[in-house]
């Protein structure tokens, strides 16, 4: 059975298989080859799994020798690049005379990186060959002039490669990052909703002068600030649905929120027929970037017989606007169904929603839902103009 078909019907079984077995299923026992159906299936599979599984596979490639482990690691690293917010183009597994032998091209904000993936630096890496690939890509107008090179190394001990780069004429065009560090950056990016954090991560992967470390500090500070804001938004301390004011109430445990969120993602993925993966905190998209979903969960507020969600102008509203189909997916801690409210519906009522402006100027709307006689509505400022939610229910 082809890998994707088996993955879609028995995901738990596939996730329980070791990496060589999965590759073997994708390639039907053949080698990983450029342009093959097996390669396409394996790359699609990588695009649909959770980020922690990607991290496991990267570690497996480094710690275990198996056929085509280097090519498999190349695909895993390029998928990690996508989770870092880059548009990643997969390169060739094997160089050929009339093609350019790069491992990957990562692009964002009008700039690019030529990526070279190595499991180890036990042997000297021919920097001039990698630089020649980069120059040919520039000549072919596939990347901007002066695009830097990022070498991704599996082993943590890169002292010899660092010395090699520092002593070469490529010292200011090549940077090195270990797989472990790249995975940590992926985790930071996926845990935040801030586009600014993503952009700062992109900045530190490019060559810059290290005497002053402000840019690195900015990544840590911005991520910490964003997490503090999100901690307030995941579950409010309380609310009064009559006037939208926040009052005092206990928080829901994060484990329950995460479980319900995973369930909500599974439901919208099944309905759309597309596997949605996390792009940033609470934001999910399919591999083709045609379906976007902001997935949020609320406890039930007994006093008002309803649920509360935060809907941010930036980046959630913008994120939903960028897809062919965008949905605000509302999960509830005490319900087995969810609501997938289309972006166009929320947009039509944007000005009617209760809102809060934070001390740093961020605006978010209050999605206030109300249940009566088994039916749900979205509460807006003008009483009597509630929006029915039942049509958007997914069981």
219-252 per-position pLDDT tens digit: 766 666 666 555 545 444 444 545 555 544 556 7
322-378 per-position pLDDT tens digit: 999 999 999 999 999 999 999 999 999 999 998 888 777 888 899 999 998 889 999
Q: Are 347 and 328 in contact (CB under 8 A)?
A: no
Coil/strand/helix, residue 325: strand
pLDDT of residue 252: 73
What value does the mean pLDDT take over residues 7-13? 93
DSSP 235: S
Q: How far apart are CA 351 and CA 340, in angstroms?
A: 20
pLDDT of residue 235: 47
Alpha helices in the chain (DSSP H): 3-9, 11-15, 19-27, 37-48, 51-63, 69-83, 127-139, 159-166, 179-190, 195-204, 214-234, 254-272, 318-321, 343-348
Strand-pair category, 87-90 with 104-108: antiparallel
140 burial (CB, 10 Å; 0-12 / 13-18 / 19+) is exposed
**If pLDDT is split at 50, 70 and 90, which confidence band does 274 have?**
very high
What own/partner pairs with CB < 8 Å and gap ≥ 24 does 380-387 have? 380/349, 380/352, 380/353, 381/352, 381/353, 381/354, 382/352, 385/352, 387/345, 387/349
pLDDT of residue 123: 63
pLDDT of residue 162: 86
Q: Which CATH class is domain 50-223?
A: alpha beta
Q: Retrieve residue 379's tokens.
A: 């509460």
The per-residue DSSP string of 158-180 comes to: -HHHHHHHHTSTTTTTEEEEEHH
Q: How far apart are CA 136 and CA 283, in angstroms?
A: 37
123 burial (CB, 10 Å; 0-12 / 13-18 / 19+) is exposed
What are the beta bridge partners of residue 235? Answer: none
278-315 per-position pLDDT tens digit: 998 899 999 889 999 999 999 988 777 889 998 999 88
- Spell out a b/e string for 359-369, using b for 16 or more CB atoms within 10 Å of the CB, else e: eeeeebbbbbb
Q: How far apart are CA 306 and CA 329, in angstroms?
A: 16
pLDDT of residue 18: 96
Residues whose CB is less than 8 angstroms from the CB of residue 310 and which lie 6 or more positions away in sequence, other chains included: 233, 236, 296, 364, 365, 366, 367
What own/partner pairs with CB < 8 Å and gap ≥ 24 does 356-362 have? 356/246, 358/229, 362/229, 362/312, 362/313, 362/314
Coil/strand/helix, residue 117: strand
Q: How many CB atoms lie within 10 A of CB 348?
A: 11
Q: Retrieve residue 122's tokens.
A: 């036990």
Residue with tokens 């229910």: 393
User: Per-domain residue ranges for the chain?
Assistant: 50-223, 235-394
Q: How far apart are CA 197 and CA 352, in angstroms?
A: 30
Q: What is the mean pLDDT of the chain?
A: 87
Q: Phi first, then psi: what are they for 383, rounded to 5°?
A: -60, 140
């Amino acid at each position: 059975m082809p890998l994707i078909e088996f993955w879609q019907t028995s995901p738990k079984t596939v996730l329980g298989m070791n990496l060589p077995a999965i590759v073997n299923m994708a390639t039907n026992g053949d080698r990983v080859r450029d342009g093959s159906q097996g390669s396409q299936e394996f790359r699609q599979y990588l695009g649909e799994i959770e980020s922690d599984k990607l991290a496991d596979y990267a570690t497996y490639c480094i710690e275990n020798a198996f056929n085509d482990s280097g090519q498999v690691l190349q695909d895993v690293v390029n998928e990690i690049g996508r989770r870092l917010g880059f548009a990643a183009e997969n390169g060739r597994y094997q160089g050929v005379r009339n093609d350019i032998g790069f491992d990957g091209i990562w692009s964002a904000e009008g700039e690019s990186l030529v990526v070279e993936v190595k499991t180890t630096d036990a042997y000297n890496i021919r920097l001039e060959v990698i630089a020649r690939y980069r120059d040919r890509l520039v000549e072919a107008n596939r990347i901007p002039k002066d695009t830097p090179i990022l070498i991704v190394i599996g082993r943590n001990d890169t002292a010899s490669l660092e010395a090699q780069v520092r002593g070469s004429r490529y010292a200011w065009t090549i940077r090195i990052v270990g797989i472990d560090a790249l995975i940590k950056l992926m985790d930071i990016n996926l845990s935040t909703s801030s586009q600014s954090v993503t952009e700062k991560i992109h900045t530190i992967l490019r060559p810059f002068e290290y005497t002053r470390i402000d840019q690195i500090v900015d990544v840590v500070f911005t991520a910490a600030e964003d997490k503090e804001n999100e901690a307030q938004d995941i579950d409010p301390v309380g609310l009064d649905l009559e006037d939208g004011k926040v009052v005092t109430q206990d928080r829901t445990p994060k484990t329950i929120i995460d479980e319900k969120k995973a369930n909500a993602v599974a439901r919208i993925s099944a309905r759309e027929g597309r596997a949605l993966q996390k792009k940033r905190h609470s934001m999910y998209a399919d591999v083709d970037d045609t379906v976007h979903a902001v997935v949020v969960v609320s406890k039930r507020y007994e006093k008002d017989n309803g649920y509360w969600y935060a809907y941010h102008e930036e980046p959630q509203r913008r994120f939903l606007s960028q897809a062919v189909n965008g949905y605000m997916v509302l999960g509830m801690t005490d319900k087995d169904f969810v609501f997938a409210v289309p972006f166009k519906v929320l947009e039509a009522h944007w000005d009617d929603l209760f809102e809060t402006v934070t001390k740093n100027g961020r605006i978010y709307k209050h999605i206030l839902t109300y249940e009566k006689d088994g039916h749900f509505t979205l509460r807006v400022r003008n009483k009597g103009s509630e929006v029915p939610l039942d049509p958007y229910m997914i069981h």
